[in-house]
Structure 1
Amino acid sequence: MRKAFLLLAGTCIAGIYSFAQEKQDSLRLINLQEVQVVSTRAGVNIPVAYTNIGKEEIKKQNFGQDIPFLLTLSPSVVATSDAGAGIGYTNFRIRGTDATRINVTTNGIPLNDSESHGVFWVNMPDIASSLEDLQVQRGVGTSTNGAGAFGASINMKTENLSNKAYGELSGTYGAFNTTKAQVKMGTGLLNKHWAFDARISGINSDGFIDRASTDLKSYFAQAGYYGANTVLKFITFRGEEKTYHAWDGVPKDKLETDRTYNPSGYMGDDANGNPMYYENQTDNYKQTHYQFLLTHTFTPSLTLNAGLHYTRGKGYYEEYKTDRKLLEYGLIPFEYGNETVKKSDLVRQKWLDNHFAGGVVSLNYLKDRWNLTFGGAANRYDGDHFGKVIWVKNYIGNLSPDHTFYQSNGTKTDANVYLKATYSITEGLTAYGDIQYRFIDYSIDGQNDTWDWINGEMQKLDVNKNFNFFNPKAGLHYQINQNQKVFASAAIAHREPARNNYTDASFNEKPKAERMIDYEAGYNFSTPLYSFGANLYYMKYKDQLVLTGKVNEIGEMLTSNIPDSYRAGIELMAAAQLTSWLRWDVNATFSKNKVKNYTEFVDLYDENWDWASQVENKLGTTTLAFSPSVVANSMFSASYKGWSAGFQSNYVGKQYIDNTSSNDRALDAYFVNNLRLGYTFSLKGLKSASVNLLVNNLFNEEYESNAWVYSYYQQPDASAGTRDRYADFGYFPQAGTHVLANLTLRF
């Protein structure tokens, strides 16, 4: 019997090594961190707050909902869905930090959009079904590739290639005509060196909100080669989505009578007074990812991880607009009947056509007391933005096919280099240091999608900015004994402005980069039967970009740098194995999230509802929007023979919709409970079969998880000097009790 060992280093900061062993003419892959650039992962001796979510936990929760809803058991996470049921456009916040400030990577490859800084999960449907695990780091965390981690980061690792052949069929059906169909298969190891895996999925849902339908398709495929000291892996995954708009929200006056009302696509009323809606008020996008990954072991102490990547994205959203000024779309007035038409209904499309490519690399060294990682990345983004008018009501002029009314190009070069080190000072005491230099070159040229009434043309864009960021981190980790450990750290992070910070800025107000200093301290006590942990954090911001209500010269809402703001809190976590078959996990976050010396800007209209000016309200210290002071989660999970069950509870405290701390503009606290039941059994001809049932919002809680508000004054009598305050709202109600059922067959 011949034995061979393949020793592949995962990440030096994680300290996880894995190997492949040949025995009885087959290879067993044991806990292999294969071909992954996981240098951004935090390990047991790294002084940061993090949560690991494994494959089995993801699988239990995965009924087709997007990643944000699979993270809701993690500390400080709040998820929301435009359609109200967790499928389609979804989002989340961590410690009150929005998605544009959360760095997301897959296998170390950046996922955040280079311009908006967000991750659109609707473009990656069912990616959860192809994940091996993921790690959520709260705060600045460790150095990572891509967008600045300005409150949290998520590192996702795709599935390991299987060493045994398999097949899997899975189907989900439930409320709102939600369906998910999935096929997975893998060859296992072929000729002792090769393996292939693939998945194809389709997800459809009508959504809780009216017409908030989704039609999602995706695939995932990978091929790998295993050598004595080298592992190569090629991965590609693609998402294609067609989603009806639900991002306008439900007006406040509709919440009590029609919580599913969707104003998007409204075309006016027919002859009988019934509302008409545009059938193709949809978002349409295709995104394909390619990754080529390498791991090579030079010696047991030295390992290289490297990757090349390319992402191709293209799509548009189409919408019906009523009573629009033709001039804003590059169209001339036309004669219809006996009048000159200067305004008309029309249908427009806004397109994005982009390319994102680059490489990442890390060299990992582990020997004696040292654990070193030297790495970096260089990426290039090129994106075209343009708009088309495809129809104008009653138009009899020379409307060319696909009339383009704006066009611009954005390019971005993003490069970084970092060095991380842990050093074992004494037994149990480890020092951590992490320095990163990041360079950004960003430019925008062309026309914005907004008409400039001052100069009588589409707003011109001419942005050319360079940023040089130095992001140091340091900390200590002390293993008191086998049951207890503590850590403390400090880190500095920077974040460049996003595209809309430039396109919506005032002519005389240019956005500045943001900076955050993050202080963290934690304690953990664990035994095989129970555990307890606490993390303290203080995140101090300088020049944070937030919506203040201020508008630019052409009336667009803009974000402004606020000099001083902070987030401070404590995250508590506990777990107990109550019996051999029953476990309880619970966590809670208590925080304060404040803006110092906040000034609100509110539009003022005259007696004829013509815009007059803006009013400044100096409000002092206020609470940051969408930053609840309490977030708590609980999960009772049971497993007995083939049966499993989970009872999940989420509590989210009151959230303010803007930064004024006004109770008139706030979301009420809510408490939502979900129940999951499952049974796995043997079936002739199959490896296993499982039936699962998910009851979301078990007690039919009526709540809204997100909203927007536009506040304004009217001065009905200028001579009297009085004014009345009004507000328009868009709320995002979430579905009441609804059920999803899943059947999975494994071959």
Structure 2
Amino acid sequence: MKRLLFYSMFFLAGVTMQAQETQKDSIPNGIEKLDEVLVKSVRVDADSPITHSNLSKEELAERNLGQDIATQLNFLPGVVTTSDAGAGIGYTGFRVRGTGNQGINVTINGIPYNDAESLTTFFVNLQDFTSSIESLQLQRGVGTSTNGPGAFGASLNILTDAISDEAYGETSHSIGSFNSRRHNVKFSTGLLNNHIEISGRLSQIKSDGYIDRASSDLKSYFLQGAYKDENTLIKAINFAGSEITYQSWFGIDGTTLESNRTFNPAGARFDDQGNPEGFHEHQVDNYKQDHYQLHWNQKYNNNWSSQLSLNYTYGRGFFEEYVDDWFEQNVNFGNESTLAFYGLEDVEIGGETITTSDIIRRRWLDNDFYVINANVNYKDTSWDVTSGFYASRYDGDHFGEVIWARFASDSELGDRYYFGTGDKREMSVFAKGDYRLNDHWQLYLDLQGRFIDYTTNGINSDIEEFIIDENYSFFNPKVGATYKLNDKNQFYASYARANREPNRTDFENGSPRPERLDDFELGWRHNSSKLNLSVNAYYLNFTDQLVLTGALDNVGAPIRANSGKSYRAGVEIDAAVSLGSKFSIAPNVAISTNKNRDFFFQRDGVLTNLGDTNISFSPNLVAANTIQYQPIDNLRIGFLSKFVGEQYMGNIDSETSKLDSFFVNDLNIIYEIKNLPVFKSIVLTGLVNNVFDEEYVSNGYFFTFDDDFTNPGTVTTVEGAGFYPQAGINFLLGATLKF
């Protein structure tokens, strides 16, 4: 079956392209930059029937003062961003159409960035990466075929810095609230002998965070060596970073939210009577990740081009935590402070048997990720066809160490109390093309086959045997059409199917089934000198969608469960309006309904059909607006607004799980000083976030458990919630000096 699909897809592409070989070269030389070929296979153009938004380097620079990439996406349609530390530095995430990081495919130069096992993107490992981005495209819904995990809410593809013809140097520095600061230097040699360029960036970001002790110490670099001539582009790219962040994923309950919203319980220590003794100083994540990419783009003539990409990613690190014996035995009622849990002997002291202890442990990840990606493109005035092949392998080790114990028993430093492996192999093939039927109609077809083998062995962090051996074969077709009414108006419609495998955490919490999504999109685009408008309606029909239950596991990872039948439907409106030579506005709004069909839940020991319930973390209304005022050429003032409607953190419509709506406004000022004797220019940037000091919560968790202890003989469902409060009014000020 695999071979049949492989050959049939390439045969389809081959027949299409072979039929065009007899046509004369018809594409003007230089119409498409070779840099852009890096993401051609995963991006769409302006006339595609795929719903998307683009951000350029210049647009990203306006608010690039050290906050993570997720925060930079906040004002795109249907996007909701979150920050554990409360101010956009450290662990951040974003959701699109209610789907979070685990359902959003992220690629960098066409190489998957999602962690192969968790399927999640950790932007904290891309420190100051916005400073090295040429452009990005966010496709909502299934989007076009891409590499790596299937896109269920969106796909984000990132293109890193293009080659600079001219040499330059610049350094950026910013400071702000919560002792935040960012420093970087960038350079490019420009084209040497008209062919070779070397460029790079070195960065450091530090912040204490809005939440207590939610500090970040982030270091990174980006290096690029490139060769190009008229028809060839070769890029060798190495980017890497290290992060040490104090954990802030524990959240706080509703009472603490009202009385002490910055409180962080992570690392808490208690004496034998339960009296607080402070916090563990090194309750941190400590992780390093190195990426090596090699890209070769070749243009053979005005019709044919190809791309070959290789990638190796090496990740390693741990999170350290203090396991307090009193808390574990008296509050958590767990066994993770027992010596036996770590394979240690009980301790005899003065005739007393010691079975538990305060413990400091580290849970490690050590992984390697290999990728090969190749595609070929044919393009003329009617056809734009790309066929490609992708293969990857992930090898990951998971293990734990006790580095200190109050009663160390027979432990030795470096002993592992659990060890397990994860091995994931993936292959995909695709063929997709646009056909311009005439001046009005453009047709789109995209076929992808994706094949995954996932195996695990050994013991997991719960000291349980964890053995998985699963194989998945997915076929993902996509079809669409665009009708151009005139120079200002076009309409489009598309259908796409996506399938997605469960992640490691899903397997640890049950026997999950793969998800399936059928995505229907219908849209209208209007472009004129004063108004750019996009209106899009969508219907997402899910089978076995893995929805967030609201709960977290013991390492802070969200727990998901198959919900059977569910759907998301909505309308998105995105506009850019010119109000003269000095004013412009860019509003967008996403209105949706997101439902689990006939959702079953066991309440008070009885399995109950709750009917149609709201899908967790899916607000029905998300809106944003940007007002830009440019009184003079080198001064821009922006006022940015974001509204997120109320949402549930679980799937049972419990009031305990509800997050209130919030409306937040930011002020952005950019002033550029030119014609200086030493510098080409100095760009001064000011960003005041949450100017009206709104107290709001953008994220949290929700859990339930059956209590049959309080009232023996009866089962009562108990509900609880945790919240991640976000910062009030705060600021960042920056200066970029360009040489």
Shared fold by TM > 0.5? yes
Partner of 1:108: 110
- Contact persistence 1:520–1:538 (CA under 8 A): yes
2:562 matched to which residue of 1?
Answer: 561
Query: Separation in 2 of the partners of 1:40 and 1:326?
Result: 51
Contact 2:621 2:644 in 1 (8 A): yes
Cα offset for 1:421? 1.4
1:46 corresponds to which letter in structure 2?
Answer: S
Task: Name which of 364, 379, 382 aligns with 1:369.
Answer: 382
Choose the corresponding residue for 1:460, options 447, 458, 465: 465
Q: Confirm or deny that 1:491 pairs with 2:484.
A: no
Distance 1:17 1:57, change over 3 A: farther
In 2, the alpha carbon distance for the partners of 1:419 and 1:661 equals 42
Question: Does the 8 Å CA contact 2:629/2:637 hold for their aligned counterparts?
Answer: yes
Deviation at 1:19, TM superposition (A): 6.2
Separation in 1 of the partners of 2:27 and 2:461? 51
Q: Give the Cα separation in 2 of the matches to 1:150 and 1:665.
A: 24
Report the counterpart of residue 672 of structure 1 in structure 2. 664
Taking the aligned partners of 1:718 and 1:307, their CA distance within structure 2 comes to 62
SS at match of 1:33: helix
Counterpart amino acid of residue 486 in structure 1: F
**Partner residue of 2:721 out of 699, 716, 729:** 729
Q: Tell me how far apart the structure 2 counterparts of residues 112 and 717 of structure 1 sit (CA, whole Å).
A: 43
- TM-score scaled by structure 2? 0.91
Equivalent residues of 1:549, 1:601 under 8 A apart: no
Contact 2:447 2:478 in 1 (8 A): yes
Tell me if structure 1 keeps the 8 A contact 2:375–2:387.
Answer: yes
Q: How does 1:238-249 map to 2 (within 5 A)?
A: 238-249=240-251
Q: How does 1:495-644 map to 2 (within 5 A)?
A: 495-505=500-510, 510-548=511-549, 559-601=560-602, 615-639=606-630, 640-644=632-636
Change (3 A) 1:210 1:292: same
The whole-number CA distance in structure 1 between the counterparts of 2:66 and 2:581 is 30
How far did 1:581 drift?
1.7
Provide the C-alpha distance between the structure 1 equivalents of 2:713 and 2:229, rounded to a whole number of angstroms. 84
Is the CA contact (8 Å cut-off) linking 2:378 and 2:386 kept in structure 1? yes
Q: Structure 2: which 5+ runs fail to align? A: 1-16, 18-25, 326-336
TM-score, structure 1 length as denominator?
0.90
| Kept after mapping to 2: 8 A contact 1:245/1:283 | yes
Segment of structure 1 superposing worse, 675-684 or 284-293: 675-684
Q: Which moved more, 1:320-329 or 1:349-358?
A: 320-329
Q: CA deviation at 1:390?
A: 1.0
Give the length in aligned residue pairs: 699
Aligned to 1:394: 407
Q: How far apart, in 1, do the equivalents of 2:66 and 2:28 lie? A: 31
Task: Tell me by how many angstroms 1:691 deviates.
Answer: 1.0
Residue 410 of structure 2 is aligned to residue 418 of structure 1: no
Partner secondary structure for residue 461 of structure 1: coil
What RMSD, in angstroms, separates the aligned Cα atoms of the two structures? 2.2
Pick from 46, 49, 52: which aligns with 1:50?
A: 52
Deviation of 1:179 after TM superposition, in Å, equals 0.5
CA contact (8 A) 1:171 1:743 kept: yes
Deviation at 1:217, TM superposition (A): 0.2
1:17–1:740 distance in 2 versus 1, CA, 3 Å = farther
Supply the distance in 2 between the matched residues of 1:409 and 1:270 (Cα, whole angstroms). Answer: 37
Amino acid at match of 2:532: S
| More displaced stretch, 223-232 vs 146-155 | 223-232
As a proportion of its length, which structure holds more strand? 1
Q: Kindly tell me: are residues 60 and 326 of structure 1, through their superposed partners in 2, closer, same or farther at Cα, counting changes over 3 Å?
A: same
CA-CA distance at 1:44 after TM superposition: 2.1
The residue identity in structure 2 corresponding to 1:430 is Q
CA distance in 2, matches of 1:678, 1:47: 35
**Structure-to-structure mapping, 1:190-339, within 5 angstroms:** 190-268=192-270, 273-323=275-325, 324-339=337-352
Contact 2:243/2:286 (<8 A) preserved: yes
1:694 counterpart (666, 682, 687): 687
Write the distance in 2 (CA, Å) between the matches of 1:733 and 1:44. Answer: 38
CA separation of 1:267 and 1:131: change in aligned 2, threshold 3 A: same
- 1: CA distance, partners of 2:622 / 2:160: 29
Q: Could you tell me which amino acid in structure 1 is paired with residue 262 of structure 2?
A: T
| Identity %, equivalent residues | 42
Q: Does the alignment pair 1:358 with 2:396?
A: no
Are positions 1:446 and 2:438 aligned together?
A: no
Could you tell me which amino acid in structure 1 is paired with residue 694 of structure 2? E
User: 1:719–1:690: structure 2 CA closer, same or farther, 3 Å change rule?
Assistant: closer
Q: CA deviation at 1:520?
A: 0.3
Native 8 Å contact 2:39 2:157 kept in 1 = no
For residues 239 and 647 of structure 2, the distance between their equivalents in structure 1, rounded to whole angstroms, comes to: 36
Whole-angstrom CA distance in 2 between matches of 1:435 and 1:122: 33
Change (3 A) 1:309 1:720: closer
| Offset of residue 631 of structure 1 | 0.1
Contact 2:108 2:160 in 1 (8 A): yes
Aligned to 1:150: 152
CA contact (8 A) 2:551 2:702 kept: no
Letter of the 1:379 counterpart = S
Amino acid at match of 1:656: Y
CA distance in 2, matches of 1:616, 1:403: 44
Counterpart in 1 of 2:732? Answer: 740
From 84, 106, 109, the counterpart of 2:86: 84
1:227 CA displacement:
2.3
Deviation at 1:202, TM superposition (A): 0.1
Unaligned runs of at least 5 residues, structure 1: 1-11, 21-28, 451-457, 605-613
Map of 1:474 onto structure 2? 479
Is the 1:576–1:583 contact (alpha carbons within 8 Å) kept by the matching residues of 2? yes
